[in-house]
């Protein structure tokens, strides 16, 4: 029977089975950012250990970095302290560090692929749950906690249980105005926010086959929102074309040999899965969340569900959600007024996302009273977008054009919601308090839908805006 990519990659990286039954798994690529690493470096130092494979760990700064004023020392003393810590840690341990001076800084899950560090067949770890993003390349990529960051620094290994595997096939075609973000929100809405616990998700089907790497990254990024720690797409010609020529990618003959190996890893036609789910792309509309987790989501032309429609345990969470969101059950999702529009995050701040948002914003005007910002995922994306003139389109429409970082995705920098503001956001989490105000409210949607909401001042169906 044919193996799955998960089996092949797992076996190849298995050092041994630990006495507790978990696998000691070798990690091929370790990515580090400023927020979840200082305690790990400190634990390492306390035990008198050094980084074991410094050439396999790469660091950047993204979470806390201001995306407006740039001068060091930062006005925010704690941000400054956190920067000083990572600078010292990469210096002492001699780790490659992509800070702003390199022109290669950005959200860790954006720059890994962009630099060609992320490759098929690797195991990848990072102290960040959205490490699943890298699975778009056919890597097995895990989000880990700080103690495991320490483990990987000290040994290049982690102790982990092999997940079960669910294949999610999306076939058919997507309608105009429907994007990768809508597909993954639809998947999470169908399978639930804990449907993936204990599973890795393998995404496939004709919709995934036809997607660009940017789109596949959006899908894999939000695996964790569906409970799955790992999500991946089998490598193919699209994967190879993306990687070829990138800074850390193999070149020449090596590239040919690498590409042949990458292709050999893909799950074969008779591979067996613990579960298979199939969906039809034609059934997916532009999606908008109405609640406080990403599974509380519906089509833009639908209504906020009535509590009667929700049975069992979901109902308690829904009641809490509707109260936090101050939304009436049964009201249409379209027309919910917004205060802030955020295009950014490791889910949707790549060049193609900015293009889609700009297409909607072009020639329009951000509604009165709405604060709209565009935060590119990396310095390089920012430069490419500027070369294409996207910043002018955004600025003329009244959007702020920012430097690269996580920004209002988790509001660890000065970009925060105020009070009970409502934000249309292209990020991945609508948790209570996520965007910096405990009473703030987040509506997740695609970048094009965020741009549409910014112009309309309320949730709007992007299919109508583009058509009209």
Partner 1 sequence: MSDGAVIDRIVGRGVPVRGNDIDTDRIIPARYLREITFEGLGPHAFEDDRRALNGAHPLDDPRFAGAGVLVVNENFGCGSSREHAPQALLRRGIQAIVGESFAEIFFGNCVTIGLPCVTMDPQHVESLQALLDEAPDAELAIDIDAQQVVTDQGAYPAAVPASARASFLTGRWDALGQLLENADEVQATSARLPYLTGW
Q: Print the binding letters for residues 116-155 with ligand SF4: x by CB under 6 A, - otherwise.
A: ------------x-x-------------------------
**Parallel, antiparallel or unpaired: strands 14-17 and 23-26:** antiparallel
Closest by CA to 397, choosing from 426, 359, 431, 433, is: 359
If one asks whether residue 346 binds ligand SF4 (CB under 6 A), the answer comes out as yes
If one asks whether residue 3 binds partner 1 (CB under 8 A), the answer comes out as no
Q: Which does 268 bind (CB under 5 to 8 A by kind): partner 1, ligand SF4, none?
A: none
Closest by CA to 167, choosing from 115, 70, 233, 227, is: 233
Q: Which does 227 bind (CB under 5 to 8 A by kind): partner 1, ligand SF4, none?
A: partner 1
Spell out the residues 6+ positions from residue 152 whose beta carbon is closer than 8 angstroms to its own: 27, 30, 57, 125, 144, 158
Task: Give the chain's end-to-end CA distance (angstroms, integer).
Answer: 52
Do 37 and 127 meet the contact criterion of CB atoms below 8 Å apart?
yes
If one asks whether residue 350 binds ligand SF4 (CB under 6 A), the answer comes out as no
If one asks whether residue 75 binds partner 1 (CB under 8 A), the answer comes out as no
* Binders of ligand SF4 in range 266-285 (CB under 6 A): none
If one asks whether residue 93 binds ligand SF4 (CB under 6 A), the answer comes out as no
Spell out the residues 6+ positions from residue 45 whose beta carbon is closer than 8 angstroms to its own: none
If one asks whether residue 307 binds partner 1 (CB under 8 A), the answer comes out as no
If one asks whether residue 62 binds ligand SF4 (CB under 6 A), the answer comes out as yes
Do 140 and 229 meet the contact criterion of CB atoms below 8 Å apart?
no
If one asks whether residue 339 binds partner 1 (CB under 8 A), the answer comes out as no
114: buried, middle or exposed (CB in 10 Å: 19+, 13-18, 0-12)? buried
Q: Which does 107 bind (CB under 5 to 8 A by kind): ligand SF4, partner 1, none?
A: ligand SF4
* Binders of partner 1 in range 357-376 (CB under 8 A): none
If one asks whether residue 212 binds partner 1 (CB under 8 A), the answer comes out as no
Question: Least distance to partner 1 from the beta carbon of 320, Å?
Answer: 7
Q: Which of 218, 413, 428, 430 binds ligand SF4 (CB under 6 A)?
A: 428
**Parallel, antiparallel or unpaired: strands 29-32 and 23-26:** unpaired
Do 426 and 448 meet the contact criterion of CB atoms below 8 Å apart?
no
If one asks whether residue 116 binds partner 1 (CB under 8 A), the answer comes out as no
> What is the length of the chain?
468
Q: Which does 346 bind (CB under 5 to 8 A by kind): ligand SF4, partner 1, none?
A: ligand SF4
Q: Print the binding letters for residues 9-48 with partner 1: x by CB under 8 A, - otherwise.
A: ---xxxxx-xxxxx-x-x-x------xx-xx--x----x-
Closer residue to partner 1 (CB): 324 or 350 = 324
- Torsion sign across C-alpha atoms 369, 382, 101, 123: positive
Do 410 and 417 meet the contact criterion of CB atoms below 8 Å apart?
no
If one asks whether residue 107 binds ligand SF4 (CB under 6 A), the answer comes out as yes
If one asks whether residue 182 binds ligand SF4 (CB under 6 A), the answer comes out as no
Please state, in angstroms and rounded to a whole number, the distance separating the CA atoms of residues 289 and 296. 6
If one asks whether residue 415 binds ligand SF4 (CB under 6 A), the answer comes out as no
- Residue 278: Cβ within 10 Å count: 12
Please state, in angstroms and rounded to a whole number, the distance separating the CA atoms of residues 398 and 367. 9
Please state, in angstroms and rounded to a whole number, the distance separating the CA atoms of residues 463 and 208. 21
Per DSSP (E only), the strands in 237-368 are 275-280, 287-289, 297-299, 340-343
Q: Which does 345 bind (CB under 5 to 8 A by kind): ligand SF4, partner 1, none?
A: ligand SF4
Closer residue to ligand SF4 (CB): 34 or 461 = 34
If one asks whether residue 261 binds partner 1 (CB under 8 A), the answer comes out as yes
* Binders of ligand SF4 in range 392-411 (CB under 6 A): 406, 409-410
Question: Least distance to partner 1 from the beta carbon of 57, Å?
Answer: 14
Q: Which does 35 bind (CB under 5 to 8 A by kind): ligand SF4, partner 1, none?
A: partner 1
Q: Print the binding letters for residues 396-435 with partner 1: x by CB under 8 A, - otherwise.
A: --------------xxx----------------x-xxxx-
Closer residue to partner 1 (CB): 193 or 233 = 193
Q: Which of 45, 75, 161, 282 binds partner 1 (CB under 8 A)?
A: 161
- Torsion sign across C-alpha atoms 317, 323, 328, 331: negative
Closest by CA to 13, choosing from 110, 200, 221, 157, is: 157
Spell out the residues 6+ positions from residue 195 whose beta carbon is closer than 8 angstroms to its own: 188, 226, 227, 228
If one asks whether residue 172 binds partner 1 (CB under 8 A), the answer comes out as no
Contacting positions for ligand SF4 (CB under 6 A): 62-63, 107, 109, 128, 130, 345-346, 406, 409-410, 427-428
């Amino acid at each position: 029977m044919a193996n799955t990519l998960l089996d092949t990659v797992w076996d190849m990286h298995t050092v041994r089975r630990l006495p507790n039954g978990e696998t000691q798994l070798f990690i091929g690529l370790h990515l580090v950012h400023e927020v979840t690493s200082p305690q790990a470096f400190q634990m390492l130092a306390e035990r008198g250990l050094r980084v074991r494979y410094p050439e396999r760990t790469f660091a950047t700064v993204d979470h806390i970095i201001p995306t407006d004023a740039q001068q060091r020392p930062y006005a925010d003393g704690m941000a400054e302290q956190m920067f000083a810590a990572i600078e010292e840690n990469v210096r002492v341990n001699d780790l490659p560090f992509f800070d702003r001076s390199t022109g290669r800084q950005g959200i860790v899950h954006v720059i890994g692929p962009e630099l060609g560090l992320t490759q098929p067949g690797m195991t990848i770890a990072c102290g960040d749950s959205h490490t699943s993003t890298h699975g778009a390349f056919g890597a097995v990529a895990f989000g880990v906690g700080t103690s495991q960051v320490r483990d990987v620094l000290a040994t290049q290994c982690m102790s982990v249980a092999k997940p079960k595997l669910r294949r999610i096939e999306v076939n058919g075609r997507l309608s105009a105005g429907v994007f990768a973000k809508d597909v993954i929100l639809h998947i999470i809405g169908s399978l639930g926010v804990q449907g993936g616990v204990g599973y890795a998700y393998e995404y496939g089907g004709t919709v995934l086959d036809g997607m660009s790497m940017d789109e596949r990254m959006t899908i894999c990024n939000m695996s964790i929102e569906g409970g799955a720690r790992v999500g991946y797409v089998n490598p193919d010609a699209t994967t190879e074309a993306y990687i070829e020529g990138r800074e850390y990618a193999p070149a020449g003959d090596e590239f040919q040999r690498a590409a042949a190996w990458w292709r050999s890893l893909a799950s074969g036609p008779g591979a067996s899965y613990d579960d298979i789910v199939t969906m039809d792309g034609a059934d997916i509309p532009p999606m908008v969340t109405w609640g406080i987790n990403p599974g509380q989501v519906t089509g833009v032309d639908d209504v906020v569900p009535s509590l009667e429609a929700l049975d069992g345990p979901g109902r308690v969470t829904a009641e809490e959600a509707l109260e936090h969101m101050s939304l009436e059950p049964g009201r249409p999702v379209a027309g919910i007024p917004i205060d802030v529009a955020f295009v950014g995050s490791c889910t949707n701040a790549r060049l193609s996302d900015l293009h889609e948002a700009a297409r909607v914003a072009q020639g329009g005007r951000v509604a009165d009273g709405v604060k709209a910002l565009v935060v590119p995922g990396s310095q390089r994306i920012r430069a490419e977008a500027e070369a294409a003139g996207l910043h002018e389109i955004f600025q003329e429409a009244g959007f702020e054009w920012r430097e690269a970082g996580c920004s209002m995705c988790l509001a660890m920098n000065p970009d925060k919601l105020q009070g009970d503001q409502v934000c249309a956001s292209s990020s991945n989490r609508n948790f209570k308090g996520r965007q910096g105000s405990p009473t703030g409210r987040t509506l997740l949607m695609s970048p094009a839908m965020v741009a549409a909401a910014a112009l309309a001042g309320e949730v709007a169906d992007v299919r109508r805006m583009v058509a009209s």
